[in-house]
Amino acid sequence: MLSERQLLILESAKRSGRVLVEELAGRFEVSVQTIRKDLNELCDARMLTRVHGGAILSSGVENVGYDARRMIAADEKAAIGRAVADLIPNQASLFINIGTTTEAAAHQLLRHSGLMVITNNINVATAMRPYPEVEVVIAGGVVRRSDGGIVGEAAVDFIRQFKVDFAVIGASAIDLDGSLLDFDYREVRVAQAIIGNARHVVLAADSSKFERTAPVRIGHLKQVQTFVTDAAPPAIREVCRAAEVRLVEAGPAGGARPADDPGHAAA
């Protein structure tokens, strides 16, 4: 049986995707130790998963809602978006797939000129459509109600018509062995087509993705050329180093720094 406070904590996690110990302690006017005990019990019941400073909604087979995902690590995603945009030159063609971090990158790309953007992300298409310096090409297929992603075989076939300079992709989860994971096999098919038809693949994902799991395999970090995140654990640094993937860590103030491998340059 859950206490009333634990039920409210769980409802907060369902709305925003993530809860923080300090914020909950202030909201309920209890000690941080009491909140940690609540979170531990919710995690023991597999309703939440502990992360640094709090917990996220536990889900191994179903993703958190799109609006809630926008709120998770919002500052980090904004910084990652700026760092990704810095990698893309003017007059480039690129894919952008579905995801809140890729959407953040799309917003930062609006200051570019001469871009051709092919996307299966209705949110990206809507944000970029009014800008005359960006030509937007949107994939056909089934529109996923949960997040505005366009998926299915029609979308895959559409993507395969192009060969672009860059791809900006996301992932729902990243295993420490470098596996890139997602929840919907239909979206995975689109992501795989994007990876296969771009000359330079940029993976954009915040560090909360290392704390999550998902059932469908997109591919592996070695299939991308650049990985932009806010903070990479040592195991991921080693995977990038071994696969010669450029690792860029984006700071919250907008600065980007390379991984500690001197062979990798800053963005």
Strand order in the sheet with 48-51: 18-20, 54-57, 48-51
Q: How many Cβ atoms are within 10 Å of 244's Cβ, its own excluded? A: 11
Q: Are strands 54-57 and 93-96 parallel, antiparallel or unpaired?
A: unpaired
3-class secondary-structure state, position 216: strand
Count of domains forming the chain: 2
For every one of its 267 residues, what pLDDT tens digit does the chain have, with 9 covering 90 and above?
789 999 899 888 877 778 899 999 999 999 999 999 999 998 888 788 888 899 887 655 445 566 666 667 788 999 999 999 999 999 999 999 988 999 999 999 999 999 999 999 999 999 999 999 999 999 999 898 888 899 999 999 999 999 999 999 999 999 999 999 998 899 999 999 999 999 999 999 999 889 888 899 999 999 999 999 999 999 999 999 999 999 999 976 545 555 544 334 333
- Does one domain contain both 53 and 82? no
- Does one domain contain both 36 and 110? no
Alpha helix ranges (H) inside the chain:
4-16, 21-28, 32-44, 66-71, 74-87, 100-108, 122-128, 153-159, 185-196, 234-243
Q: pTM higher than 0.85 for the full model?
A: no
- Contact between 94 and 166 under an 8 Å Cβ cutoff? The reply is yes
**Domain final residue, candidates 36, 58, 80:** 58
- State the DSSP code for 64: P
Give domain status of residue 210, yes or no.
yes
CATH number of the structural domain spanning residue 219: 3.40.50.1360
